[in-house]
Structure formats: structure tokens, C-alpha cells
Structure 1
Amino acid sequence: MDFFLNLLLALAAGWMIKARVQQQRIALLARYLSRYRIEKHIETVTQGYLRALGERDLGRREQVWSLLRGNEQALCRQATQLADDFAAADAAATRVSKLPLWLPFASRLAASFDMRQALRVHARGICRAIEGNTGASARDRAYAISAELLLLQHTCHWFCRSKWIASARMRSRHRTSYEQALASVLPQTRSEYLQLVALGRRG
């Protein structure tokens, strides 16, 4: 009887710790994101890509691509500013466990990576896809940018919740797996990202 009571108490304590930590992380990231319109630009750009790709009239399609350039540039600029600002966050609060599921104190006791470094990887990847991917077709360019943005969102959810929750959310909302998004970003982003978040690597 004492065993089951102790188990219930341990589970309850773990749940309370999890709720508190996740609320703190959500509040921390939201405080920095609130300074920018990154989420709004992501929505505008991704919906615009779908509209452009579904447009049969070539003139109208080019017009949509052209209208999206300002939002793309704003995304590059603001993602970079976010990474720069977030670099000032407390190092102890920005460690992220590499384990798939959330465990108490896992970011301190097990393999982890630094969210500040992850945001820098994402900022570079987004800007590279927007500004440096000039040789790609409009379709391939939009595909790469979308993948970079999806991976950024996945990392943000991973930071706030867990890798498993982030992957499930991506699959539910975007019908895309974490592995698909990772395979679709630019090669340099994928290399830098895996160097940071892969188990068995120091991050």
C-alpha cells in the first residue's frame, strides 16, 4: 500500500514540476516573440506560397511571388533579431533535453542543447533559403523556406514541451513528420541542426 501511495505522490510531484517548467518556458519564449511579428509573417508567407503554387495564370502567380518578398525579408530580419535578443537569456533556462519525452531535470542530467544556439541555426537557415537560394526555381525555393519555418516551429514547441509533442503537433497541423521537415531544409541547415540536437553530440 505504501508503495502505491508513494508512486502516486511521485507522479503528482512530477506532473506539477512539468507544468511549472513548461509554463516558465512558454512565458520566456513568448516574451521574446512578442517583440516581433514572426508568427504572422510565417502565416502570410506559407498561405501565399499555396496560393501562388495553385495559381494557373503565370502573370498572377508572379504577382503573388513578388508581393511575398517583403514578408520574406521581414522574416529573415526578425528571425535574426530574435536570435540576437534571445542570446541574452539565462543559460540555465535555455537548455533543452534531447530525449523524446519530458522528464524532470532531464535538461540538467541528460544530453541537452542550447535553445539560444538553435535559434541562431534557424535564423541562418531561413535567411539562407530566402536570400541565398537564388538558383532554385520559385517552387523549390518556397518548399525550402517552408521547411525551414516548420523546423523553427518544431524547435520552439520542443523547447516549450518535448520533442515528441512537437513532432506530433507538426504531423497533426501540417501533415508533415519531423523527419520530412529535416530532410527538406537546406543541407547546411540540416548539418548544423543535427550537430546541435542529435543524441550523442554535445550541444
Structure 2
Amino acid sequence: MDLLFVVALAATGAYMLNTQQQRRRIVLLAQHLQPYQIERLMETLTQGYLRAMGEQDPERRQQVLNLLASSEAQLSEQFERFAADFRRVPAPLARASRLALGLPFATQLLPGATFDMREAIDVHARGIARVARNDAGLSPRDKAFTMTAELLLMQHTCHWFCKSKTVASARTLARHQTPHAQLVAAVSPETRAAYLALTGPAR
């Protein structure tokens, strides 16, 4: 049998298996997110922060930020409930590969190169809640900046779980013009330390 044909057949099979496994992870995450309005609240906050930072009048800027406080509280509460719900996912289904590219059965064959998505969601839930409460006493502008970074890093983690780190980073760069490492640097110190301990160095 022609070697090129064998290689092409193996590559096609690996691609199909990988796509199938990615689809299962997408469905799993979507099922757990479905009862919540996390995506809508994220959009409300990120768009609201942009609007507030675009206001030249400090008083008007503060008014916009004050209006967003209830959305911050709702998002924090809903994400904590989502995290508690996702903790019930069986451990084998919650593994995400640390490898840059998605490979079939990577989480089963290379368990040392994985992280637990349940723990990652907990890290993000604590980070969002911490910034919503403003434990660090940040200025309104710095709080909006940090919360935006927390939300975008959480979104990156979800894309990483569903696809791969490379795909997640490419999406973040394309949609938000922000490299992954920059997001990690912009979140709260507590989130950054817990996140890097779990997922490994940001590149």
C-alpha cells in the first residue's frame, strides 16, 4: 500500500476522532451553561465598560459604571452557580489538554499534560466574584479593566477546553486584539497565580 495513502488515511482518521471529541466537549459545556445568562451578562458588561471609558465627563462615566453594578453582581452569582453545577462532571470528562494543538485521546494518553476544567472554572468564579466585590479597592477604571480581563480569560479557558489552547488564543487575538499572555497579566494577582499553577506558563 502506498505510504502517502496510509499517512493520509491516518491523518484523516485522527482529524475525525479529534473533531468528534471536541464536539462532545462543546456539547458538555453548552449543556451546563444553558440554564444561565452568563454570555448575555458578559456582553452587557464588556460593552458597558467600553461606553463608560469613552465618556469624557467623569460624572457621566461613574453613572454608567453604577448602572453596571447590578450586572456584575448577577454575573458573579450566576457564575458561582455554574461552577457548582460543573463540579458534578465526572473527572475524565473534565480534563483539558495543555498541549498547544488538539490531538485525539490526548487527555487519556497524556494525563500529566492536562488540567481539570472544574478547577479552572472555580478559579474564574473566585476571580469574577473578587473583582465584583472590589476586594482590592480598585478605582472604577481599574476595576472595569480588571473585570474585562477576568471575563476574557474565562472565555479563553472555555474555548481551550472545547478546542485547544492555540485555537483559543487565536480567537481571543482576532476578536479582542489581545494576546493570551496579556490577558493573564491583566487579571487580579490571585487569579493569575491560581490560573498559572493550574494551566502552566502563559505563552
**TM tier, smaller:** over 0.9
Give 1:42's aligned residue.
42
CA displacement 1:61-109 (0-9 Å, x = unmatched):
1211111001000111011111100011121111000011111111122
3-state secondary structure, aligned to 1:179: helix
Contact 1:76 1:126 in 2 (8 A): yes
Q: Does 1:137 align with 2:129?
A: no
CA distance, structure 1, for counterparts of residue 102 and residue 23 of structure 2 = 14
Question: Equivalences for 1:164-179 in 2 at 5 Å?
Answer: 164-179=166-181
Question: Equivalences for 1:95-174 in 2 at 5 Å?
Answer: 95-110=95-110, 111-174=113-176
CA displacement 1:99-150 (0-9 Å, x = unmatched):
1111111112221001011000000011111113352111101111011001
CA distance, structure 2, for counterparts of residue 63 and residue 11 of structure 1 = 56
User: In angstroms, what is the RMSD of aligned CA positions?
Assistant: 1.1
Q: Shift in Å at residue 6 of structure 1? A: 1.2
Question: Equivalences for 1:41-120 in 2 at 5 Å?
Answer: 41-110=41-110, 111-120=113-122
TM-score (norm 1): 0.95
CA distance, structure 1, for counterparts of residue 97 and residue 182 of structure 2 = 21
Q: Which moved more, 1:137-146 or 1:127-136?
A: 127-136
For 1:85, the aligned partner's letter is D
**Structure 1 segments of 4 or more deviating over 6 A?**
none
Contact 2:156 2:169 in 1 (8 A): yes
For 2:86, the aligned partner's letter is F
3-state secondary structure, aligned to 2:88: coil
3-state secondary structure, aligned to 2:96: strand
Aligned-residue identity in percent: 49
